[in-house]
Amino acid sequence: MIRRRQQRAKKPHFAILVNKKAENYDSRAVEKLTKAIKAAGGYHSVFEPPGAADLLRQAEVAVDLRKPTGNLQLPFARGGKITALIACGGDGCFNLVARTAMKADIPAGVLPLGKLNNIARFLYGTLDQAQVIKRLISGAYEKVDCGRVADQIFFGSVGLGFISHLAQELEGKAVPRFAIGWSQLGSRTASNVPLKKTILKVDSFRFEASPVIVNVNLLPYSAGLPISPASIADDGMAEIILDQGNNPGDFSAYTRLIFKRNYLYGNEVRLYRGKEITIQPLRGRTLYLDGELLKLPTDILEIRIENKKLSVIR
C-alpha cells in the first residue's frame, strides 16, 4: 500500500523545467501552473533549456548539484532552496528531471505536455491540466520504484519488440481514440516485429521464446496503453510481460482488450514478477525506455529494480 506523505515546507519552491519541444507544449499551461503556485503562497523558478542534455544539467543546477555554466541559470534566490521539481513535457522529460530529484532527495511531478504521458496517467489518473495542477501544488507525495537498464534509470517501463515498434508506428501520427483503432494498429505493428529466439531470466526462472512482446513495467502504462494494470508502484518488483505463442495475429485482440482493460494474462501473453531480469541476444535492437527509443549497443540486457525509491508528487 503506497503511503502518501506531506511536504513540511511552509513556502514550497518549485523548479519548473520546460521542454518546449514536447509534442503538446502549451505556454498557457505553464503559466497556469506558475499562477497556481503563487496563489497558494509558494515560489517558482522557470527554466526552458534548449535540449534534453541541457534539461538534465539545468535540473542539477537548480538543486545545487552542479555549478552554473553557459546558459544554465540559478533559481529565484528569494524562494530559498528548491523543494520539488516539476517536468513540463512527456515521459522522457520526466525521466531526466526525476533522476535529479532522486539525487537531491526531493519530490518530482509532471505537467503532461507530451504525446502519450504514460507516467502522468498513473500519477494523476487524468490528463486534465486543471486537475493535475491542483495535485502538483497539494504538497502530497508518495514513493515509487525505479529500475536500471544498460546504465539508464527508468521509472515507467522498458520494452522490446511490440512496444518499441508501436512507439515508432505512432511517431508523427495521432493516437487512436477508440478500441478499433488500437486493434488495427496492434495487428499492423505485431506483424512487423521480427521473431528472434530470445533467452530470458527472471530472478531464478529461465525461459526461451521467440516473443513479439517483452515488456518490463514499474507503472501500468506503455506507449499509451495500460499494459500492466497489476503494477504495484512501490513493492520493489517489476511486471514482466512476455508472449510465448509466436503468433502476431493474436495482437489485434490483445491490443483492443488491453485498451478496454479487459485482457486476462494467461497462455498467449503471460505476466511474471521479479527484481532482476536478463534478456539476450539483443545487439542492434531498439529499446523503449520511458517513451524514448534507444539502439542497444550490447547483446545482453540486465534490468534490476533499485533499492532507492523516487518521491513523486501525487
Write down the pLDDT at residue 51. Answer: 85
Write down the pLDDT at residue 95. Answer: 98
Write down the pLDDT at residue 5. Answer: 59
224 with 301, same domain: the answer is yes
48 with 133, same domain: the answer is yes
173 with 269, same domain: the answer is yes
Domain membership of residue 62 (yes or no) is yes
C-alpha cell at 161: 519488440
102 with 204, same domain: the answer is no
Domain membership of residue 249 (yes or no) is yes
156 with 278, same domain: the answer is yes
Neighbours of 79 (CB within 10 A): 17
239 with 115, same domain: the answer is no
Write down the pLDDT at residue 221. Answer: 97
Domain membership of residue 314 (yes or no) is no
- 68-116 per-position pLDDT tens digit: 988 899 999 999 999 999 999 999 999 999 999 999 999 999 999 999 9
128 with 165, same domain: the answer is no
Domain membership of residue 312 (yes or no) is no
> What's the length of the chain?
314
Q: Which of 105, 121, 144 is the last residue of a domain?
A: 144
> Is 43 strand, coil or helix?
strand
191 with 262, same domain: the answer is yes
User: Which residue is listed with cell 489518473?
Assistant: 125
Which residues constitute the domain of residue 233?
152-307
185 with 287, same domain: the answer is yes
Tell me phi and psi for residue 269, to 5 degrees: -125, 125
Domain membership of residue 268 (yes or no) is yes
Q: Which of 123, 144, 165 is the last residue of a domain?
A: 144
159 and 216 Cβ atoms separated by less than 8 Å: yes
Q: Which of 144, 165, 187 is the last residue of a domain?
A: 144
C-alpha cell at 67: 555549478
CA angle 57/62/67 to nearest 5° reads: 65
178 with 101, same domain: the answer is no
Q: What is the mean pLDDT of the segment spanning 2-29?
A: 83
243 and 265 Cβ atoms separated by less than 8 Å: no
- The domain that holds 162 is classified in CATH as 2.60.200.40
- The domain that holds 58 is classified in CATH as 3.40.50.10330
Domain membership of residue 22 (yes or no) is yes
Number of domains in the chain: 2
Please state whether the predicted TM-score (pTM) of the whole model is above 0.75. Answer: yes
Could you give the CA distance from residue 155 to residue 289 in angstroms, rounded to a whole number? 9
140 with 12, same domain: the answer is yes
Write down the pLDDT at residue 88. Answer: 98
77 with 26, same domain: the answer is yes
